[in-house]
Amino acid sequence: MSRLESVFKQKNHKALIAYVTVGYPDIAATLKVVPLLAECGCDIVELGIPFSDPMADGATIQRASFKALENGVTTAVCLDTAKKLSKKTAIPLVFMTYFNPIYQYGLDKFCHDCVVSGIDGLIIPELPPEEGDEIGKFAGKSGVDLIYLLAPTSVDARIQLVADKSRGFIYLVSIAGVTGARNELPPDLGKFILKVKQFAKQPVCVGFGISTPEQAVQVAKTADGVIIGSKLIQLMETDDAAMTATQTFIRNTRKALDNIE
């Protein structure tokens, strides 16, 4: 059983997954916020490797990636940061990145160095399962879970394919669009989650658009976990040195998830 899989073995527990862009607003902030997220109740943290053309990301994460790139954050810097974080916290860490940085780094070397740095999984938004066999081979050899995404427009054949290939969990995108905090989630999201769970043996986690504890609860009533990114980036942009607002938000979300009936 992988460390990601073990998160979902906890009885009556909904996974809370946070996303942060490595190096935004700077590396020191990343090294500080990830242990805080773990202390406040996050089960997994996604570390975003900044990329110049983040096609799946909305304005908030695009802005964070641009700033991180300006700060000189590279794939090697992200691996080094992950290594430092893995010594600061015991929760699983996942890289969310695009294929180009991995290809430039070298597929086998990247997967190997992920293990050395304490990374448990990889999310590559633009990589379809039909084209993931090569990196899937290297990830599998290294013991890194390759996590695939499913859009709400996915047909049964695509759902089955992702269910066959995804490891750790399935990342279900709540809307047909890019990341970003939203006031409302699709009314039929719960039905789609239940449909995916008919095909999937692994846990199903939902991201894109979740920005309040209430929305997290709405999703977690049917999903196995929720993923929050843009909202956290927004909080970090205006938070104080102690990251009080960020901590309060995560604590409140964790409490809400723990109180689902």
Annotated catalytic residues are 46, 57
Q: Quick one: residue 189, left, alpha or beta (phi over 0 = left, psi -120 to 50 = alpha)?
A: alpha
Give the span between the Cα atoms of 29 and 5, in whole angstroms: 28
Give the span between the Cα atoms of 142 and 133, in whole angstroms: 14
Strand stretches in the chain, DSSP E: 15-21, 44-48, 93-96, 119-123, 145-147, 149-150, 170-173, 204-207, 225-228
Give the span between the Cα atoms of 166 and 37, in whole angstroms: 25
Terminal alpha carbon distance of the chain: 28
